Structure 1
């Protein structure tokens, strides 16, 4: 019976993000962009700002300010954060009141960019994201920033808008930074911008942005980044676009193979497709081969679809792996183990006769295919390949199933080019499964290409 595999939006968001589920981290005052060198301060501003500017610049060496700032950073609730921020303000001699007085006499572009810098740095010391954002916007609006610092300023303004929940404001500042080619050291700008697009109900822009980044990398002969692929995949998933999402899943695991990427690809495929037991069995076989079996339900699904009465040897192998990994207990699989062990000796002893009968000129499809399935399940891919090839002309409606398992047998022997050609012929309900197998053999055939180019980066998790 066909079944749909569902996944929570929270779990998928974490998977797509590479496993990092925290918000964008606050940036230290040391990350402040460079000021303009041209222009000058007004006399009134220079006199008014000197004391606070000195106090802020020396804050790291002031035990009172530093202790209050550390408490503000560590505070877990708003009341504690506000209390610590008030301590920082007091330790700086009344920073907010002084900022208001300084703002009243800021007239030149240099006055305004310096006012913005001090405002932002006071916000950092207080752990006040809104104040940091206010200062950064002042710096941008001053007209005095150096051209080569605009991207960084826009990035910081966009991040603080995002942290404050102003996602439209985040897009306002992040998009020009991204379009100008600015990339932050943490490699998060594309992911944060894409999520801001999503939170403003503009998933199409997020998908387009990531696809452009992917195509640009391909045209340059480099590997699309992990971040760009995950961003595009998240957008396609959110839009319930099964075809693009599965294609992007395949690209993710091809270019950035690893258990985490594979687990993401499997979750997306199972969430957006309806797979029968036999289709899911071949997907689970790929999960096992890629080390992506990560939960009790993964192992139980594999055991159920393999069926201890039909494929006892393969079932026992998965049972043992699940128990050894700690994902299963002996009690979870006692019944399945008993059935498999009861069938194992007779089934294994019959392999030779199964194969002999399957090679007889009069053998029908069911006999040939059954023997091939048995041989594949007992890790005899070369013999299985021969029988699947014999079964193929007689397969009829089962052609896609035979082709899938022929490709698996070839992949298990390291015949990656042949396996790719075989999987390319698979259609129908098995096409999504075949695409992931194709990505697997492609990464095996050319592992250097899969790991070349842009390195994967961590980023903030998309919204659930």
Structure 2
């Protein structure tokens, strides 16, 4: 699968561009107070007061704003460096003033104000590394109020992430996340999970997201789309098929929609080793969820259905793919010709297939007729024959019969019965049955559906 970034860089940029609100007294208000615990030192107040005022007024300074906008728009290192120098000049030599203030900072209040100034100048320069440095200074000052720690840790983590220091990102994001801090954009779990991934610790990301999912279930609420996708991404990265399929099923159950189904199918086909008949029943679910989205999807379905075996279903899929503009007549000329040459005789023989099956004790005869009826969208008759075939099925055929019995029941709206049938499927067809189960559950529990999803499929 093509690489798709888990975290929106635009959303991160928004998080990084705003000032940080921390419960501390501003330097100018106490600049003349005698140094003591909880106050600024006289030396620091003298060194930092002018810079603090300049930074506080930056938003109304046209020269600073123009230079800052240029820094935000810069695309290469040279342009960023030049724009940062313009910001520094527009602030009246901020770097030199910061250095002077740093040299005399001694009290906790000095250090948190110095960190605040460093961070906010970094915002003006669009420099995540400088922002991170300032935020760490604030955290280490000992002067931040407890109700500000989560925000500071989040911002320190996300600036480390933006700077490519993923170990540091985990260092600051994890305590914020564990303490219950959640940013307004709802990104902390995704940023932390991706930082785990980039430090080769997908297991931690999976555990984190699974815990959030279980907390939601225990509270009687729907697990969030973000938590499910974060966990699914981690399971996919770790190539853990069983949890990945379970999470795919939960994603489509709780958040049904084309994008969720597309993600679930991508993951299942990538991790499960399905043969043609197993994949056919997965493609049938893609068809029923309107998830056939590409030329490859339609061609794969046509090949698995096989115009020699299921000409009616093959023609239906061909017509649907052409109508959707996903395939052309030229793409399927041979398959269409083969199916058209067989479909009339095949369809006219359905009644005799069914009659022979009901009179037979032979598994292949009964099951073959059931398959034909299912392919011609006669699920009620197919269900009856699959039930006759099931006791005669050997170990190799039982799971296939159960899968298609469940499909026939689902096609009739017998969702509870279908769910019970799919629960009996084992072996290599388990991933297919789990997604069909999620489909029928989404039909019987519409309250589980949430808002439409927008996140990308797991990236490789």
Change (3 A) 1:269 1:353: same
Question: 1:246–1:432: 8 Å Cα contact kept in structure 2?
Answer: yes
Q: 3-state DSSP class of the match of 2:399?
A: helix
Give how far 1:178 is off.
0.6
Q: 3-state DSSP class of the match of 2:290?
A: coil
Distance 1:162 1:460 in 2: 20
Give how far 1:203 is off.
2.2
Q: Which residue of structure 2 aligns with residue 291 of structure 1?
A: 290
Question: 1:302–1:318: 8 Å Cα contact kept in structure 2?
Answer: yes
Give how far 1:151 is off.
0.3
1:395 equivalent in alignment to 2:393: yes
Change (3 A) 1:199 1:30: closer
Distance 1:29 1:47 in 2: 28
Kindly report which structure 2 residues correspond to 1:249-260, keeping only aligned pairs within 5 A, or say none. 249-260=248-259
Change (3 A) 1:219 1:375: same
Kindly report which structure 2 residues correspond to 1:422-437, keeping only aligned pairs within 5 A, or say none. 422-437=421-436
Q: Which residue of structure 2 aligns with residue 206 of structure 1?
A: 205
Give the number of aligned pairs. Answer: 448
- Picking from 355, 370, 375, the partner of 1:372 is 370
Give how far 1:395 is off.
1.7
Change (3 A) 1:416 1:222: same
Structure 2: runs of 5+ lacking an equivalent: 26-36
Kindly report which structure 2 residues correspond to 1:9-88, keeping only aligned pairs within 5 A, or say none. 10-11=2-3, 17=6, 24-37=12-25, 39-88=38-87
Distance 1:249 1:260 in 2: 11
Q: 3-state DSSP class of the match of 1:274?
A: coil
Distance 2:101 2:170 in 1: 30
1:115 equivalent in alignment to 2:114: yes
Distance 2:391 2:217 in 1: 38
Give how far 1:352 is off.
2.0
Q: 3-state DSSP class of the match of 1:35?
A: coil
Kindly report which structure 2 residues correspond to 1:334-349, keeping only aligned pairs within 5 A, or say none. 334-349=333-348
Give how far 1:425 is off.
0.6
Which structure has more RCO (C-alpha within 8 Å, separation ≥ 6)?
1
Change (3 A) 1:309 1:458: closer
Offset from partner CA, 1:165-219 (integer Å, 9 cap, x none): 1111111101110110001111111121122122222222222212211211111
Question: 1:195–1:462: 8 Å Cα contact kept in structure 2?
Answer: no
Moved beyond 3 Å, runs of 4+: 19-24, 28-31, 455-464
Give how far 1:93 is off.
1.1
Distance 1:380 1:156 in 2: 58
Q: Which residue of structure 1 aligns with residue 31 of structure 2?
A: none
Kindly report which structure 2 residues correspond to 1:204-243, keeping only aligned pairs within 5 A, or say none. 204-243=203-242
Q: Which residue of structure 2 aligns with residue 5 of structure 1?
A: none
Larger CA deviation: 234-243 vs 274-283: 234-243
Q: Which residue of structure 1 aligns with residue 175 of structure 2?
A: 176
Distance 1:432 1:463 in 2: 20
Q: Which residue of structure 2 aligns with residue 420 of structure 1?
A: 419
Distance 1:166 1:457 in 2: 29
Distance 1:212 1:27 in 2: 25
Change (3 A) 1:20 1:401: farther
Kindly report which structure 2 residues correspond to 1:254-293, keeping only aligned pairs within 5 A, or say none. 254-293=253-292
Q: 3-state DSSP class of the match of 2:39?
A: coil
Distance 1:458 1:260 in 2: 7
TM superposition score normalised by structure 2: 0.92
Offset from partner CA, 1:18-60 (integer Å, 9 cap, x none): x958783353553413233593333333332232222222222
Change (3 A) 1:186 1:458: farther
Give how far 1:463 is off.
7.0
Q: Which residue of structure 1 aligns with residue 444 of structure 2?
A: 445
Give how far 1:146 is off.
1.1
Offset from partner CA, 1:418-458 (integer Å, 9 cap, x none): 0000000111111111111111111111010243xxx6887
Q: 3-state DSSP class of the match of 2:13?
A: coil
Q: Which residue of structure 1 aligns with residue 352 of structure 2?
A: 353
Distance 2:226 2:315 in 1: 38
Give how far 1:150 is off.
0.3
Offset from partner CA, 1:352-400 (integer Å, 9 cap, x none): 222222222x352222212211111121111111111111122223111
Question: 1:48–1:101: 8 Å Cα contact kept in structure 2?
Answer: yes
Change (3 A) 1:330 1:54: farther
Distance 1:322 1:20 in 2: 33
